[in-house]
Structure 1
Amino acid sequence: MDEIKQKIALFIDADNAPASKFEKVLSEVAKYGLVTIRKAYGNWKSPTLKGWEELLHEYAIQPIQQYDLTKGKNASDIAMVIDAMDIMYTKEIDVMCFISSDSDFTPMVTRALAEGKVVLGFGERKTPSPFVNACSKFLYLDAPETEEAEKEPKPKNLKSDAKLINLLRQAIEATEDDEGWAALGPVGSNISNRTSFDCRNYGFKNLSSLFKEVDLFEL
């Protein structure tokens, strides 16, 4: 299927996502296709959702009311999962997008992947790793903007990030030629096929910039 024609369903956990970053989400999602379903879940009587409420009409988002059934908890999570499951099996959807910093949606993401869907995740850095890692791609909404990051000193602890270094090294080994060289394109594709990694979460525009900062590989 032509990528630009892919249909996307967007689910917003308004209780656990920043409304101020919604344009950033739409900009990223637009790379994958057309958003045909947009739903936001939460207790719309709560003043904490005022930011999202102001976006509903502007972006044609359907609000789904969920009252707080128990103090400190809300029913939005289960309602969102039920709707997502229903849409996944009854609508022609290619990409499912979840905006939340809550790990409760991890089983839903896993199921969607098993059904052959691309799953995009968006949330803050407090998002538990199981949800982040389960997505096809996950972008931190509170990650430093690449334009701003370029003006500031880059983080100096990348070399000590064993998980990151192992990921880069394994991708190189999987795509290198007989002389030990690997092209950035295949390296990036290998990483994307294995994890939700995105170099922008580290403050870099592209993989090349990140490799230069790591400074452990010959370019």
Structure 2
Amino acid sequence: MKPEEKRIALLIDADNAPASKIDVVLAEVARHGVANVRRAYGDWKSPYLQQWEAALHPYAIRPMQQFAYSTGKNAADMAMVIDAMDLLSGGSVDAFALVSSDADFTPLVMRILADGLKVYGFGERKTPDPFVNACSLFTYVEGLGQSPVSADTSLQERADPKKLRGDTRLVLLMRNAVEAASGDDGWANLSAVGSQIGNQASLDSRNYGYQKLSELIDAIGLFDLRRESQTVLVRDKRVLAKDVAG
């Protein structure tokens, strides 16, 4: 492992995550660092976890057996939280990747963030907003591993531009990030905008059906984009309107 690579603890709530997406989840985690801890939690005697059981050895994931001691209580969730806190206090990891669609892990995410570590979340689109928004970056697994075969196919999966402009939270997040990263002329480097967004909230353009942040920003229709060699610049269209009015 390279010295600069982050050590990431990959913790999987097997009861609330699809086993079919583990390969693309691991590929996504690899973008941020090395998953030196890989654990999946559940009652492995349950027939519902057969698909996960088949994925454990090929991907070097350690099964963490947790019996359901009583009806209505998820002992696996408790075990996962306890292990996460042990890893956090032990200082053996630099970040966490939590795979679950369960909002009950939201307090855990906030506790990890309080210690200055990033949390990369992965779950299905049914995942409640509190968990999604709490993560440093949350990615819906349905959007992983899908390369746009054609423009038409890609457009069918994308959020409508009108709907994007009506998303007050998204627009405000974008405008604040562009303003914070812009120079005196109002133009901001796209990479700086992405960093600003990452510091403010969880945002993955693929959750909206767009492969790149620049494509999402362009689709909103409230920003100007300019390409200079390998650099992409972004400007709030209100800046130009203000200059013209002045």
% of aligned pairs identical? 51
Partner of 2:241: none
Larger RCO, structures 1/2 (Cα 8 Å, 6+ apart): 1
1:171 to 1:3, Cα distance in 2 relative to 1, 3 A:
farther
Q: List gaps (5 residues or longer) in structure 1.
A: none
Aligned pairs, number: 218
What is the CA-CA distance between 1:215 and the residue it aligns to? 1.4
Q: Contact 1:106/1:130 (CA < 8 Å) preserved in 2?
A: yes
SS at match of 1:122: strand
What is the CA-CA distance between 1:57 and the residue it aligns to? 0.8
* Structure 1 CA distance for aligned equivalents of residues 170 and 149 of structure 2: 22
1:22 to 1:90, Cα distance in 2 relative to 1, 3 A:
same
Q: Contact 2:17/2:124 (CA < 8 Å) preserved in 1?
A: yes
Partner of 1:185: 191
Of the three residues 172, 179, 182, the one matched with 1:176 is 182
1:179-199 deviation per Cα after TM superposition (whole angstroms, max 9, x unaligned): 222221111110011111111
Partner of 2:138: 138
Give the number of the structure whose alpha-carbon radius of gyration is greater.
Answer: 2
Q: Does 1:92 align with 2:92?
A: yes
Q: Contact 1:42/1:64 (CA < 8 Å) preserved in 2?
A: yes
Q: List gaps (5 residues or longer) in structure 2.
A: 226-246
1:133 to 1:78, Cα distance in 2 relative to 1, 3 A:
same
Q: Contact 2:14/2:100 (CA < 8 Å) preserved in 1?
A: yes
State the AA in 2 paired with 1:152.
S
Q: Does 1:29 align with 2:29?
A: yes
Q: TM-score with structure 2 length normalisation? A: 0.83
Task: Describe how 1:39-78 pairs up with structure 2 within 5 A.
Answer: 39-78=39-78
Q: Contact 2:148/2:154 (CA < 8 Å) preserved in 1?
A: no
* Structure 2 CA distance for aligned equivalents of residues 54 and 45 of structure 1: 13
What is the CA-CA distance between 1:71 and the residue it aligns to? 2.8
Partner of 1:147: 148
* Structure 1 CA distance for aligned equivalents of residues 149 and 23 of structure 2: 17
What is the CA-CA distance between 1:50 and the residue it aligns to? 0.9
1:39-81 deviation per Cα after TM superposition (whole angstroms, max 9, x unaligned): 1101111111111100111111111112223334421111100
What is the CA-CA distance between 1:133 and the residue it aligns to? 1.2
Q: Contact 2:121/2:138 (CA < 8 Å) preserved in 1?
A: yes
1:202 to 1:148, Cα distance in 2 relative to 1, 3 A:
farther
What is the CA-CA distance between 1:143 and the residue it aligns to? 3.0
Q: TM-score with structure 1 length normalisation? A: 0.93
SS at match of 1:10: strand
* Structure 1 CA distance for aligned equivalents of residues 183 and 82 of structure 2: 47
1:149 to 1:116, Cα distance in 2 relative to 1, 3 A:
farther
* Structure 2 CA distance for aligned equivalents of residues 81 and 177 of structure 1: 43
Partner of 2:16: 16
1:102 to 1:126, Cα distance in 2 relative to 1, 3 A:
same
1:97-141 deviation per Cα after TM superposition (whole angstroms, max 9, x unaligned): 110011111111111111121211100111111111111111111
Q: Contact 1:95/1:117 (CA < 8 Å) preserved in 2?
A: yes
State the AA in 2 paired with 1:209.
E
